[in-house]
Amino acid sequence: MPNIEYCNIDDPEIAELVSTIRKRRSSGKLLNLDRMLLHSPPFARGWNAMFAAIRNQLQVPRHINELVICAVARLNNADYEWIQHAPEFLAANGTQAQLDALDDVTAACYDTALFNEHERVALRLTLDMTRQVKVRCEIIEKARVLFGERQLVELMGTIAGYNMVSRFLVVLDIDAAGE
């Protein structure tokens, strides 16, 4: 059970927002995360807009975005986030062996057999941002060379955003079931 009950999605005052969120979800179904966010319509509206941009409008390659999201999920013990994004990583041409390697994100950062240079640098960035917040200069510089400034900002924003997601999910004990 979550720490706060899920919002009643049949409330007419939030019907338009519920519809907007359904449209963003490829399945058209609300997740329990959505049902929790709907307690605060302004917060849910902003969250929906930000994550719609992260998921659909960035130049960072999709598999890199999903890789860092999965790494954040593992680092923060956010099973809900993992359940939602591991299939997305596989759909974006990631491999099951790569997902399995994320059981030890630190080791994955240096695994040249499973991860290419872009993936390893993205994982190192994720590890530092998630564990220390402050990222070592050499990692930022390497990421800047590999991704360019726009993609680096997008990657950092994705990592920061999904750290927020995982913390929200874990603190509220939101379960992965939905409609």
- For residues 39 and 127, state if they share a domain: no
- For residues 26 and 75, state if they share a domain: no
22 within 8 A of 178, measured Cβ to Cβ: no
How many independent structural domains does the chain possess? 2
What mean pLDDT is reported for the chain?
94
- For residues 140 and 126, state if they share a domain: yes
- For residues 148 and 162, state if they share a domain: yes
- Asked whether residue 32 carries a pLDDT value surpassing 80, the answer given is yes
- Asked whether residue 175 carries a pLDDT value surpassing 90, the answer given is no
With helix as H, strand as E and coil as C, how does 60-88 read? Answer: CCHHHHHHHHHHHHHHCCCHHHHHHHHHH
60 within 8 A of 154, measured Cβ to Cβ: yes
Q: Which two tokens stand for residue 88?
A: 């997305």
Q: How many residues does the chain have?
A: 179
- Asked whether residue 26 carries a pLDDT value surpassing 80, the answer given is no
- Asked whether residue 179 carries a pLDDT value surpassing 60, the answer given is no
- CATH code at position 84: 1.20.1290.10
Comparing 123 with 1, the larger pLDDT belongs to 123
Q: Which two tokens stand for residue 3?
A: 């720490």
Q: Which two tokens stand for residue 119?
A: 């993936």
- For residues 50 and 98, state if they share a domain: no
Domain that holds residue 50: 12-56
pLDDT tens-digit series, residues 111-133 = 999 999 999 999 999 999 999 99
- For residues 42 and 76, state if they share a domain: no
- For residues 151 and 108, state if they share a domain: yes
Percentages of the chain per state (helix, strand, coil), in multiples of 5 = 70, 0, 30
